[in-house]
Chain A
Amino acid sequence: MDIFLQLLISGILLGGVYVLVSIGLTLVFGVMKIVNFAHGDFLMLGMFGAFFLYQLFGLNPYLSLLIVTPALFILGLIIYKTIVGRTISRPHVVQIFSFIGLSVAFQNMALVLFSADFRSINHPVSTKVIHMGPIHISFPSFIAFIVAGIITILLFIFLYYTYTGKAIRAAAQDRFAATLMGVSIQKIYALTFGIGIGILGIAGSLMVPIYSVYPTVGEQFVLIAFVVVVLGGLGSLPGAVVGGLLIGLIETMSSYFIAPSMKQLVYFCVFILILILRPNGLFGKEGAAEEALE
């Protein structure tokens, strides 16, 4: 029983990390109907940012998120202005290959600048464990989970209770009508993309105490992020939360009860099964994917 409880808690905490990694992807898709294939590489940049702030200046990763997050938000705006914004009304292949090109460029830039070494920080917080009776809770995972919750709630409040947030939802629902209201679609998209990337700054900072950093670290997470987002329903925030927690739980449980090397097999089986039963994902709207392909 203790083991089960331990796995349940570890799985949910891992799910929190996955939610953080996925939520920007689903936001950008939901609003702009584009799939950011370079999502994982922005995460890599965020992790490297937090890593070097610790390595060079000894900055606690939880404080470095105050620097890395705005930096990634601004990077998101710049990438939107220079690349993404120019592909918005172009065919989908143009969008897809722009992002794949961006991904290759980021990875190789990181390879040249930082080398292919696996790096991790040696901060006492990395190995800190909270003991609750027989249950052990990894401190950095716990923090990541709490912050994931806070970020999700803040994002929800922003989208549903602020005027700018409502304009983002309006643009997501009907780009043409929103333009007629006087909404500048380019500004709203730039802001949305900036937020989607900025959240990866938070995620990167929180993940540096848990995971090693290397130029292709994004690939490992972007695959999970895609599973989470499609499972939850493309463009759905609650979907990303439930999907993230579900994948975290499945991964942890199957690692223990079956074999660690089988964990991906298990969550992909669950993924396929859910898509057979609910092709639009758990919280997906009918036609979200078709809309994206038009």
Chain B
Amino acid sequence: MLHLHNINSFYGEIQVLREISLHVQRGEIVAIVGANAAGKSTILKSISGTVLKVEGKIEFQGNDLTGIPAHQRTEMGLIHVPEGRRLFPTMTVQENLEMGAYAKRARLDRQKTLDQIYEMLPRLQERKKQQAGSLSGGEQQMVAIGRGLMAKPELLMLDEPTLGLAPIMVQWVFDFIRQIRDSGVTILIVEQNATKALEVADRGYVLENGQIVLEGTGQELLNNQALRKAYLGA
């Protein structure tokens, strides 16, 4: 469904990603793990079209994404839930969710999708009139993922969805990710919490200094001695 071929990405003069090749198949959960500043977020930004300079070829559902601006990639069902949630702080929870369905592919079904999301996340319905900025971190993450689902994603990319959350919320997020996948959405997740991420993932990639150093199924990576030493603290 998604193929990256030898991607090099730059912020100005600084090269952040080197020769990244990876793929995601329909129905998978794929995790990208690695230390801080390894370039994990940059991979997602390169895919969503929000990095200024990207070399190489990214294919999504058979379409070459080169030259397609970010807002049109959303239109193709390629949805990026950014790190730090990036809600619209003075808009209400409901307005935030509604903005998720801005893309034409989702706009007509806005009300229907919204009802589904309120059914999945009843806490958001209780708080729909509250300003998003006034919610707790966990609730904000619910809104961020819900806003991503409002766009009717084919591929949902989650950037550090558990960052700064309480352990109970971390578990909830990973359970919810499984639930989303079971509803037919493919998932690409970037996480510092490598153990948890690899536990839910079908496959994973390990990123180090902008390069992929290991890949395999979630279980293989969890069992890899070198990786356990370096990242999993075991």
Residues of A at the B interface (CB closer than 8 Å) are 163, 166-167, 169-170, 173-174, 176-185
Q: Which residues of A contact B151 (CB under 8 A)?
A: 181-182
- Count of CB-CB pairs between chains A and B under 8 Å: 64
| Number of residues of chain B lying within 8 A (CB) of chain A | 27
- Chain B residues closer than 8 Å to A174, beta-carbon distance: 86-88
Contact residues in B for A169 (Cβ distance below 8 Å): 88, 90-91
Assembly CA distance A178 to B102 (angstroms): 9
Which residues of chain B are within 8 angstroms of A176 by Cβ–Cβ distance?
50, 82, 86
Interfacial residues, chain B to chain A (CB-CB below 8 A): 48, 50, 69-72, 74-75, 79-82, 86-91, 95, 98-100, 102-104, 147, 151
CB atoms of B75 and A182 under 8 A apart: yes
Q: Indicate if the CB atoms of B88 and A182 lie closer than 8 Å.
A: no
Known A166-B95, A183-B71; judge A177-B102 contact (CB<8 A).
no
* Residues B74 and A181 in contact, CB atoms below 8 Å apart: yes
B102 touches A179 (CB 8 A): no
Neighbour of B88 across the interface among A173, A179, A185, CB < 8 A: A173
Q: With a 10 A CB-CB cut-off, give which of B69, B90, B102 has the most chain A CB atoms.
A: B102
Select which of B50, B81, B102 is within 8 A of A182 by beta carbon.
Answer: B102
The closest CB in chain B to the CB of A285 belongs to: B90
State in angstroms the CA–CA spacing of A294 and B91 once bound together. Answer: 23
A181 to B82: give the CA distance in the assembly, Å: 11
Residues of B within 8 A of A185 (CB): 71
Choice from A163, A170, A173, A184 contacting B71 with Cβ under 8 Å? A184
The 5 closest A-B pairs by CB, nearest first: A182-B74, A182-B103, A177-B86, A173-B88, A181-B102
Task: Name A170's contact: one of B50, B81, B91, B103 (CB within 8 Å).
Answer: B91
Q: Please, could you name 30 A-B residue pairs with CB atoms under 8 Å apart, sorted by A?
A: A163-B98, A163-B102, A166-B91, A166-B95, A166-B98, A166-B99, A167-B99, A169-B90, A170-B91, A173-B88, A173-B90, A174-B87, A176-B50, A177-B82, A177-B87, A177-B88, A179-B50, A180-B70, A180-B81, A181-B71, A181-B100, A182-B71, A182-B72, A182-B74, A182-B75, A183-B71, A183-B99, A183-B102, A184-B69, A184-B71
